[in-house]
A and B are shown apart, each in its own frame.
Chain A
Amino acid sequence: MYAFDFERPTTIADAVKALAAADAQALGGGQTLIPTLKQRLAQPSKLVSLTHIAEMRGVCRADDGSVAIGGATPHAVVAKEAASLYPALAKLAGQIGDPAVRSRGTIGGSLANNDPSACYPAAVLASGATIVTNSRRIAADDFFRGMFATALNPGEIIVEVRFPVPEKAAYAKFPQPASRFALTGVFVAKFASGVRVAVTGASEGGVFRWKEAEQALSSNFSAEAVRGLSVSPAGMIGDLHGTPEYRAHLVRVMTARAVQAAA
């Protein structure tokens, strides 16, 4: 790692101030950032740790009925505390990384990084969640901007994520055998207004909504409804762990399994 300064603010306001410095970088749980720093692939002048900000931690039911999760809440806490509020989301959180990673990794950190194989983006996009930052609210549909890219401005912090709770929902993840990230993961959420399907791990463009499946499932919420659909391999990730064709195939299979689990 290159040398850097380290700050540990305890309020959002102080964190924002600290991040105003040139080349300052926010540090969530660090489960992705620290390995990146070890490889000397990033050279921040200063890391601003967000894990000591009490107002950014925790899970609760908001006044509007949505589930609000503080940006610095570790996956393990979501897995536990969201279990009754939004079981499918809690279950997803409980499948990220491994237990020790879940103790540290945070929802805000995961979303800000927007790894194309991360699990949380699928839940956020399928739920139609709102990303609350220190300065504004961003709809999920506007937040994800392709691999490792988001709508966040430099120095902007995810302080909270608000999830509308669907009638039925489930996440089906097919893990990449080495990293255990999603080779393909599909989150299906059924609302009164319709069904949303978000896919992670598969596309070169990062998390995306599978509109065709949403349409089919909105009229018939069953695994059969997606079995007949096909997904084009164009634009799918091809690597050692799976060809674009394989990932396209898995999108369909995992969607069907998520629907089955949700129903």
Chain B
Amino acid sequence: MPKVSMKVNGKAVSGEVEGRTLLAQFLREGLRLTGTHIGCDTSQCGACVVHMNGVPVKSCAVFALDAEGAEIRTIEGMANADGSLSVIQQAFQDHHALQCGFCTPGMVMSAAALLAENPRPTEAEVRKYLEGNICRCTGCHNIVKAVLAASGQDVAAIAAE
């Protein structure tokens, strides 16, 4: 079987895979990084979003072998170095932006990609950017609020509504 090597959350890893092994499978089954979830098979739900060389990708729509040599970041690599929640993660908890938690890793990874690209997005920009992530629990209200809060914007007015 072919071998693949990459860096995941700063750590060099490698493993044997099949041609058809997806990056999401390699992370979940090969590395036991089960925070990356698989919620659909048409690359739409976004539960599997990770960062590949600094940009968001759907890891269920990338072959592991195509990630050869790549830098991958997953939800397991998002907390601060001391283990405390990052600003985005903390905002998600503070604003109740998750319920069942299944879409959450992908939402956090997409939110982080958005804020890296656009540090102070408008509400409309946040909603548009998250179109590739489906959440069935929250109605998205608190997710949008959390992302705005994580960008340093005042969301008190939204809270009052």
Direct A/B contact, Cβ within 8 angstroms: yes
Query: 10 A-B pairs, CB-CB below 8 angstroms?
Result: A3-B18, A3-B19, A3-B20, A8-B66, A30-B62, A34-B62, A38-B41, A99-B132, A100-B56, A100-B132
Q: Report the separation of the CA atoms of residues A99 and B118 in the bound assembly, to the nearest whole angstrom.
A: 13
Known A3-B20, A5-B19, A38-B41: A99·B52 in contact at CB below 8 Å: no
Chain B binding site: helix, strand, loop or mixed by DSSP?
mixed
CB of B61 within 8 A of CB of A35, answer yes
- Interface residues as binary, B29-58 with A (CB distance below 8 Å gives 1, 0 otherwise): 000000000000111101001001001111
Q: Give the number of chain B interface residues (Cβ < 8 Å).
A: 30
User: For residue A35, which residues in chain B have a CB less than 8 angstroms away from its CB?
Assistant: 41-43, 61
A interface footprint on B48-77 (CB within 8 Å = 1, 0 otherwise): 010010011110111101101000000000
**Residues of chain B lying within 8 A (CB to CB) of residue A38:** 41
Roughly how many angstroms separate A179 CA and B42 CA in the complex, as a whole number? 10
Q: Given A2-B20, A4-B20, A5-B19, A100 and B110 touching (CB < 8 A)?
A: yes
A99 touches B114 (CB 8 A): yes
Known contacts being A6-B2, A49-B66, A101-B132, is A31 close to B43, with CB within 8 Å? yes
Closest B-chain residue to A80, C-beta based?
B117
Query: Which residue numbers of B lie inside 8 Å of A, CB to CB?
Result: 2, 18-20, 22, 41-44, 46, 49, 52, 55-58, 60-63, 65-66, 68, 110, 113-114, 129, 131-133
Q: Is A66 an interface residue (CB 8 A)?
A: no
Asked, given contacts A30-B61, A35-B41, A39-B41, whether A100 binds B66 with beta carbons under 8 Å apart, the answer is: no
B53 to chain A, nearest CB (A): 9
Contacts of A51 in B (CB 8 A): 66
Rounded to whole Å, the gap between the CB of A45 and the closest CB of chain B is 10
Kindly report which residue of chain A lies nearest to residue B66, judged by CB atoms.
A49
Nearest CB in chain B: distance from A180 CB, A: 7
A229 to B160, CA, bound (A): 49
Cβ contacts under 8 Å, B129 to chain A = 99
Nearest A residue (CB) for B54:
A103
Task: Output the least CB separation between A76 and chain B (Å).
Answer: 7
A39, B114: Cα distance in complex, Å: 31
Partner of A31, one of B20, B61, B68, B110: B61
CB distance from A15 to the nearest CB of B (A): 14
Q: Is the CB of B43 within 8 A of A6?
A: no
Would you give the shortest CB distance from B17 to chain A, in whole angstroms? 9
CA distance A1 to B21 in the complex (A): 9
Cα distance, A34 to B49, chains bound together (Å): 15
Say yes or no: B20 contacts A99, CB within 8 Å: no
Are A1 and B132 in contact, with the CB atoms below 8 A? no
A35 to B44 Cα, complex, angstroms: 10
A1-52 with Cβ < 8 A to chain B = 1-6, 8, 27, 30-31, 34-35, 37-39, 46-47, 49, 51-52
Q: Tell me, yes or no, whether A167 is within 8 Å of chain B by CB.
A: no
Tell whether, in the assembled complex, residue A4 and residue B19 are in contact, meaning their CB atoms are under 8 Å apart: yes
Chain A 85-135 interface residues, beta-carbon cutoff 8 Å to B: 97-101, 103-104
- A6 & B63 in contact (Cβ 8 Å cutoff): yes
Q: Given A6-B2, A35-B43, A39-B41, do A97 and B19 touch, yes or no (CB 8 Å)?
A: no
Alpha-carbon gap, A3 to B43, bound state (A): 20
